[in-house]
Each structure stands twice: as structure tokens, then as C-alpha cells.
Amino acid sequence: MPPILNARGLAKSFGAFPLFRNVSFTVSEKDRIGLIGPNGSGKSTLLGILAGRIEPDEGELATRKRARVSYVAQESQFASGQTIRDVVTAAMERSEVGVEERATLLAETLGRAGFEDIEVQAESLSGGWRKRLAIVEALVQDPDVLLLDEPTNHLDLAGIEWLEAELQVGGFPSVIVSHDRYFLENVATEMAELSRVYPDGILRVAGNYSEFLGKKNEFLHAQEKRQEALENLVQGEIEWLRRGAKARTRKSKARIGKAQELMTELADLNARTRGGSARIDFSASDRQTKRLIELQDVSYSIEGRLLFQSLDFILTAGTRVGLVGPNGSGKTTFLRLLRGEAWPERGTIRRVEALQIVYFDQNRPLDLSLTLRRALAPESDSVIYQDRVIHVAAWAARFLFTGEQLNQPVGRLSGGERARVLIAQLMLQSADVLLLDEPTNDLDLPTLEILEQNLLEFRGALVLVTHDRYMLDRISTTVLGLDGMGAIERFADYSQWEIWQEERKRDALGASPIAMKPAVKVPPAVTKKKLSYLEAREYETIEQRIAEADRLLKDKQTSAEDPAIASDAVRLLEAHQQMEEAQRVLDILYERWHELEQKQG
């Protein structure tokens, strides 16, 4: 059977900036394709072309006859006055869903998505609930292909798990632009990366994100070997030409032509593989005080709803807190309390004198009319970073911006590029405490990895709100979980938070089976598993986490044995403490692995 979508030889530029050229892309039955790529590579544009919303400069798109394509954009907007019911009803009217089936489909789909009051105005919903509604709007159209552009942005962790389940059981193929690594790991059956580093502009691999990384590494290694071989061949041909080759003979002409072909191929390879990565380095202050913020018996409510109560918590230098909970549970409110922008109803919050807090706002308050130059350096053509004066062009290059972009308005930048502007602004501020509210939205994967590494090296305190489960697991030394109903608990990692949530759901189900009855009957599993759903997911990743913990332990052992710190008692003690902590984490993981193995049988 031919593909549902078949794009051939696509090219697209915006002004003088080419996004991609000669890219081909197909979508067939049962495909779940994760689409990744650097910021500015054209992922959203390619998705818009597949959706029929953007015309390519070159190439063509063939769509199977009568195929329905549903598209969910990054930003979810709804008409003024529309209720949730109105949005979903209008979507079904645009589809081929029978009139008699619509009421059931509306109730089931909205019920699975977690909506309770469907008469609420759509435009009054939070960003996460608007995103859920936009996805529901696409699902009820019974699509033959579903196209999702950064669907996990603004969704809370429960929303991401709901979307994973919908995609896994849905009978439709999908293309998902995302930077959420766990999401791609759980959902994708194929991965595609749009990047100029590949000869065809795109690399597509069967398998999930982990399998893609292995194949990508093999491809880049082979390409690097080819590049080395070409450099040697070209060097040999250049030396032959310098010796004064006689161009009149047929053999010499052929060799000169071959040399030119080799040089062209090498130049193309060099141009494609020449890249860079953003250089991110948050500056910690030189404060020696360990206790930075102390909360004692803190309670807070909003509009009569209790968010958390009787909270005792101390934020110290070196602590990295992951803050998790459903939308509306109080995560942003907690950050406002730490900043001093809100006050507890009960209890006290103490901060050390002259505390320097740097805050990353998920709403990205950038003036889109400013040029990139003024956004990066508001007062002059240079910035002061770590007591050094840096010209704005060099500062922009650090975040992968070109000199030509400096005079462009910020409004023309992609979401990921705007996020890098905000990070650049934050880096100019010295901090005791970093408060990051959804910093990962729109960032590409290479920039995410660099951000994670620098957060790990940050010497101050960090409180991180993110839906990126991979980042939570990698960064957090402790996880605070909010349920939005007054409970707030501490956990060693995100997996423990998931287990806690699952246990609470089971308790609630046992207490009120009628109230917790799902809207849609789920067929029983074919075989009974000894591990719960969450334990099975934990078991799937624990070997990888053990390997990472083992590598970290070896790194800490190497640091502790470094002769350069042998005579520095303070650094030596710190290195041994870090080594002992890495060993403790590894021991806990091995113990948990043994427990899961025993249950698995």
C-alpha cells in the first residue's frame, strides 16, 4: 500500500536563510515518527508542509485520497466565547464521525483527557489544559495521520503520560516533533533527525530514541572516517598537481577531474559537519553560607483551595530540587514564595541577607520588537560576563547566533532561539539560587544536554520545574511532589514520585470504586504481569541508570585520586564526599534492581 503522505525533494527558505533542501519524507500505516533536529533546522516548517499549511519552495507532497490529517501547533489558541464542548463538537462536525456516535466519543475522549466541566471557556484554560484540548480536538476528528508540534510543552507529567497512552493505543500513524527524550523513548517506533550534517538533510532510523542514538553514532563515525580518507586523498592530489601535471594527456585530464570531484565532496562534507553548540555557564556567587532559604510550617491556599500545608524545607547551596505535580498544584506559586512575590498564609520563610535569586519565567517575557543585538546587550555593544567585557557579536556567537541575525527582531526567532536569548540574559546575573520554570520548552537536544551539564556544575541552589523526566532524573538531588490537594512529599527521584502517585490512585480506587470508574472500558491484559505498570517502566530503564551511576562513580574516583588536590585538604574532602555519595546512589540502584528482579521472577 502506498504511503499516506509522500513528500519528495522538499526545499524551504525564509529570506536568505535556507532551512532545508532536497528532503524526502513519507508517512505510512502504523508509523509513529519522532522528529528531532537543531533549533532553526525547519522541523515545524516541515510539519506545516506535511499538514498542507505551508507551501514548499521546491518539491511536492502527495496525500492519499480522502486521507484526514490532523495538526496540533505549538501554541494552542481558541476562538473567544467557545466552551470546551463547542471546540470538540465543531471538530467532530468537520470529520466523518457519525452524528449518533458523537456524544459518546465526546464524553469518552474528554473523560480520558481529564476534563470534568466541559462548559468552561476554552480561552480561560491554563497553557497545559489548552494543549490537552487541542490534542483532543485533533483526536476526535478520527485522523488518518496526526501531526504534533512539541505536544509536551506546557503539559504536566500526568498529561504527558495520558498522551503517551493515546498514541500507543491509537490506530493512526503520527509524526511528533519533540525534545522530550523519555517521551520519544516510550512512543516512537521510528526516529528522524532533520539536520544539514546528513547528505540527504535527514537521517531516519527504525526504533525508539535509544536505538536512534546508536545508529546515528555509527553513521557519524563512518562519515568521519570518510572525511579523513578524503582529506588524505585530496592532499595527495594537490601534491601531484603541484609537481606540474601535464594536463594535455587524457589520463592527466581524467585525474584532474577526479581531484576536483574529491575536493568538491570534501568541501561539502566540511560544510555539513561544521557546527557548534551553545556555551552555557551560570555564574554562582561567592557566598559561603550554606543555608539560603528556610521554610517553617508553611501553608498556602488559592481561592479557598489548599495547595500545601505544614511544609518544612531548607534550601542549601548544592541542593538541586525537582518540583513536580499536576497543572494547578502550586509549582509556580511555590517559586513565587521562594522569590518573595507571595506570602504564606501560615508559617515563616527566612532568606539569608542580600540573597541573589535568578528566575527563568516559562512565559518568556521578551520584547519581540527588540533587535537581537538589544535583547542580548541592552545598554551598549558589549556585555560584562564574569568580570570580562565581551562584544555582543562574540556573546551572540556563544549562543549560536550569526552576525547577520543581530539586527533582526526577536519576533523572527524560533521558540528555541528565544529560549537561548533568555538563558543568555540570565547568565549575566550572579546567583545564589536559580529558579527555573520550564526551561526546556523549545530547546533542541544538544542545547538541553549542555544546559543539564552546567546545572550539574552550578555551585548554588537550584529549584527546577520541568516536564522533562530525563532532566529531572539526571539533575535532581531531591524531588518535591505536590498533589494540589495539600499534600507535599519528598522523594529521592522521579520514579519514587510515580510509585507514590500510583499507590494513592489504588487507595482511592479501593475507597470509591464507582467514582474512579474509567470512562472507557480497558480490555484485560493477555498475561498477568508480576510488576506494576510503573515498576515495569522503572525496570526497563534501571540498567541504563546503573551504568550512568557507575560511570559517575568512576569519574568521582578519578577526581579524588588527582595528585593536583592531594595537598588541598578542603578539595580532597569534598572530592571524597562526592565519591561516597556516588557510591551510595549506585548501591541503592543495585538494591532496587534486585528487588525488581525478584518480583519479575
Highest mean pLDDT pick, 175-189, 278-292, 528-542: 175-189
**In which residue are the cell numbers 532545508 written?**
20
Task: State how beta strands 291-302 and 346-351 pair.
Answer: antiparallel
26 backbone dihedrals φ, ψ, rounded to 5° = -125, 150
Q: How confident is the model at residue 7 (pLDDT cuts 50, 70, 90)?
A: very high
**Window from 197-201, 385-389, 524-528 with minimum mean pLDDT:** 524-528
Q: How confident is the model at residue 593 (pLDDT cuts 50, 70, 90)?
A: confident
User: What pLDDT was estimated at residue 190?
Assistant: 95
Tens of pLDDT, residue by residue over 304-315, are: 888 888 889 889
Q: What is the grid cell recorded at 179?
A: 525534545
**Window from 256-260, 482-486, 593-597 with minimum mean pLDDT:** 256-260
Average pLDDT over every residue of 289-312: 87
User: What pLDDT was estimated at residue 490?
Assistant: 87
Q: Which runs of consecutive H residues, i.e. helices, occur in 512-568?
A: 533-560
Highest mean pLDDT pick, 50-59, 287-296, 457-466, 520-529: 50-59
Phi-psi label, residue 64: left if phi above 0, alpha if psi -120 to 50, beta otherwise = beta
The SS3 of residue 462 is strand
Tens of pLDDT, residue by residue over 68-108, are: 999 999 888 898 889 999 999 999 988 887 888 888 888 88
Q: Check: CATH 3.40.50.300 for 5-67+144-213?
A: yes
pLDDT exceeds cutoff 70 at 166: yes
**What is the topology classification, in CATH, of domain 524-600?**
Helix Hairpins (1.10.287)
End-to-end CA distance of the chain: 42
Q: Do domains 291-507 and 524-600 have the same CATH topology?
A: no
Q: What is the grid cell recorded at 434?
A: 536559580
Average pLDDT over every residue of 419-437: 84
Q: Calculate what percentage of the chain has a pLDDT beyond 90.
A: 24
CA–centroid distance for 442 within its chain? 7
> Which helix H or strand E contains 383, and what residues bound it?
strand 382-385
Strand order in the sheet with 58-63: 17-27, 5-14, 58-63
Q: How confident is the model at residue 266 (pLDDT cuts 50, 70, 90)?
A: low
Phi-psi label, residue 303: left if phi above 0, alpha if psi -120 to 50, beta otherwise = left
User: What pLDDT was estimated at residue 72?
Assistant: 95
Structural contact between residues 351 and 343, judged by C-beta atoms closer than 8 angstroms: no
Structural contact between residues 83 and 119, judged by C-beta atoms closer than 8 angstroms: yes
Tens of pLDDT, residue by residue over 106-150, are: 888 898 888 888 999 998 888 888 999 999 999 999 899 999 999
User: What pLDDT was estimated at residue 145?
Assistant: 95
Tens of pLDDT, residue by residue over 484-531, are: 788 888 888 888 888 887 777 777 666 544 333 333 333 333 333 456
Distance CA 354, CA 66 (A): 65
Q: How confident is the model at residue 326 (pLDDT cuts 50, 70, 90)?
A: confident
Average pLDDT over every residue of 356-370: 80
**In which residue are the cell numbers 498514541 written?**
167
User: What pLDDT was estimated at residue 362?
Assistant: 66
3-state helix, strand, coil in the chain (%, to 5): 45, 20, 35
**Window from 289-298, 535-544, 566-575, 580-589 with minimum mean pLDDT:** 566-575
Average pLDDT over every residue of 320-349: 89
Q: What is the grid cell recorded at 554?
A: 568512576
Average pLDDT over every residue of 428-444: 84
The SS3 of residue 291 is strand
pLDDT exceeds cutoff 80 at 369: yes
pLDDT exceeds cutoff 60 at 272: no
Average pLDDT over every residue of 411-421: 81
Q: What is the mean pLDDT of the chain?
A: 81
* CA distance to 210, 224, 458, 564, per residue, from 569 (Å): 41, 44, 22, 11
Q: Check: CATH 3.40.50.300 for 291-507?
A: yes
Average pLDDT over every residue of 421-447: 83
In the chain, where the domains are located: 5-67+144-213, 291-507, 524-600
**In which residue are the cell numbers 552576525 written?**
403
**In which residue are the cell numbers 510509585 written?**
499
